[in-house]
Structure 1
Amino acid sequence: MNARRRSDDRTATIMQAALDLALEAGYAKLSMEAVAARAGVGKDTIYRRWPSKALLFLDAVLSSRTTGLEHPYTDDIMADLREVMHRAVDLLARPPWGPLYRDLIGEAQHSPEVAAALIERFIRPQTADTLARLKAAQEQGQLAPDVDLDLAFEILSGPLYYRLLITHEPLTPAYLDRVLQAVFAGMGPRS
């Protein structure tokens, strides 16, 4: 096995150990020492890759599952958004990713470095994909030409984060359908 492959394997083992420990004890109790022991490596090995527990956790969470949230392009913007929102809710509504993502957002509130990395690596790409899909729908006449697409994105995202982070009410397909119906009532083409 070459050195690069061994390093990649070790990195994956460390990130999996961090995820497992965070799920078992919570992010607040996660420590570099515990991760090193679980992964069977020295703390120096971890600190060479990640200068802090927060950045290790960020990499571990974002490496665990962030694909599959790209928008399809059909002739039905609402169906396309519904499909992606349902996949996102499926990911966020249950373990392991939901609790880990909530912890990551919590850490981002205290760490500008984590917040910037989370925005750059996850939030911004998801936002760009959704805005591109909304723009295409607007150009096809599926949305009113004067709809503020940035605001529409925020209105679509807000209810998910509200339930995920504030009320902890269930994120269900039926709830998403209600959100989409409400938003699209104001965004559709005007006669």
Structure 2
Amino acid sequence: MAAQKPAPSAPDTTRRSERSRRAIYAAALELVAEAGYPKTTIEGIAARAGVGKQTIYRWWSSKAEVLLEAFLDLSEQAARDAGAAEQEPYAIPDTGDIAADIKAVLRATVDQLTDPRFEAPSRALAAEGVVNEQVGREFTAKLLQPSLQLYVDRLRAAQDAGQVRPGIDPRIALEFFVSPLAQRWLQYTGPITYEYTDTLVDYALYGLAPR
């Protein structure tokens, strides 16, 4: 009796779906960087990723949702990479010097804001979030708020160490560092440099009055 051929194994749909999802992420980020957000389309993303439009619409309802998820994935990967070197990917370092620690984190933020991989999608999402309430809420909840909470936690630790006045509200205080940088970046009102963010920290922590 002839030996029967083994039945072909079923395709691994999980692996195939993950491969398609990664290709879509990469395509969305590339197209936004190359052509800008207004000219990026679902059709273009599908063509670049080598998938059908129906595959994208099965997972997302708009190009904004695709880009948001792709950008969040990119940011998480960057955090994981940083964690591999620093062992603390989701916390601002606490060396005992609050000024030095915040300066270090803001310098890393400058690097990210001026990195072409991050700049185009983050600008696109910031602009889209103004006119698209759902995108704005998700961008804030999934990316901005977790990042801001890191500053709150570090400032509270500085309060416990006596480096910041007990009555200071950390959530308001962090805006002295973050808001001017965000405004300058969004409105192109000046260069985004280490010197600029270091100065923000000095002004915020030590004030403008004569010492």
TM range, smaller chain:
over 0.9
The within-5 A match list for 1:69-148 is 70-148=91-169
Measure how far apart 1:156 and its partner are: 1.1
Q: Is 1:50 aligned to residue 71 of structure 2?
A: no
* Mapped contact 1:107–1:114 kept (Cα < 8 A): yes
The match for 1:14 is 24
Could you tell me which runs of 5 or more consecutive residues in structure 1 were left unpaired when the two chains were aligned: 187-191
Aligned partners of 1:23, 1:3: CA distance in 2, in Å?
Answer: 30
Q: Contact 1:77–1:137 at 8 Å: present in 2 too?
A: yes
Q: Conserved in 2, the CA contact under 8 Å of 1:93 and 1:170?
A: no
Quick check: 2:32–2:120 contact (8 Å CA) kept in 1?
Answer: no
| One-letter amino acid matched to 1:92 | L
CA contact (8 A) 1:82 1:176 kept: yes
1:28 aligns with 2:38: yes
Runs of 4+ in 1 over 3 A off after TM superposition: none
Cα-to-partner distance string for 1:132-163 (whole Å, 9 max, x where unaligned): 01001111101111222111111211111111
Q: Which has the larger radius of gyration?
A: 2
How far residue 72 of structure 1 moved from its aligned partner, in angstroms, is 0.7
Give how far 1:94 is off. Answer: 3.2
Counterpart residue number, 2:75: 65
RMSD: 1.6
Structure 2 CA distance, aligned partners of 1:94 and 1:159?
A: 19
Give distance in 2, aligned partners of 1:12 and 1:169: 35
Aligned partners of 2:187, 2:31: CA distance in 1, in Å?
Answer: 24
The structural deviation recorded for 1:168 is 4.6
Instruction: Write out per-residue CA displacement over residues 19-52 of structure 1, whole angstroms, 9 at most, x where no aligned residue.
Output: 1111110011100001111111110100111111
* Residue 99 of structure 1: how far off its partner (Å): 2.3
Matches of 2:113 and 2:49, distance apart in 1: 26
Greater Cα shift, 45-54 or 91-100: 91-100
CA distance in 2, matches of 1:101, 1:18: 12
Q: How far apart in 2 are the matches of 1:61 and 1:118? A: 10
Distance 1:135 1:50 in 2: 39
Deviations 1:62-106 (A, max 9, x none): 211342463111111111111111101100023121222111100
TM-score (norm 1): 0.93
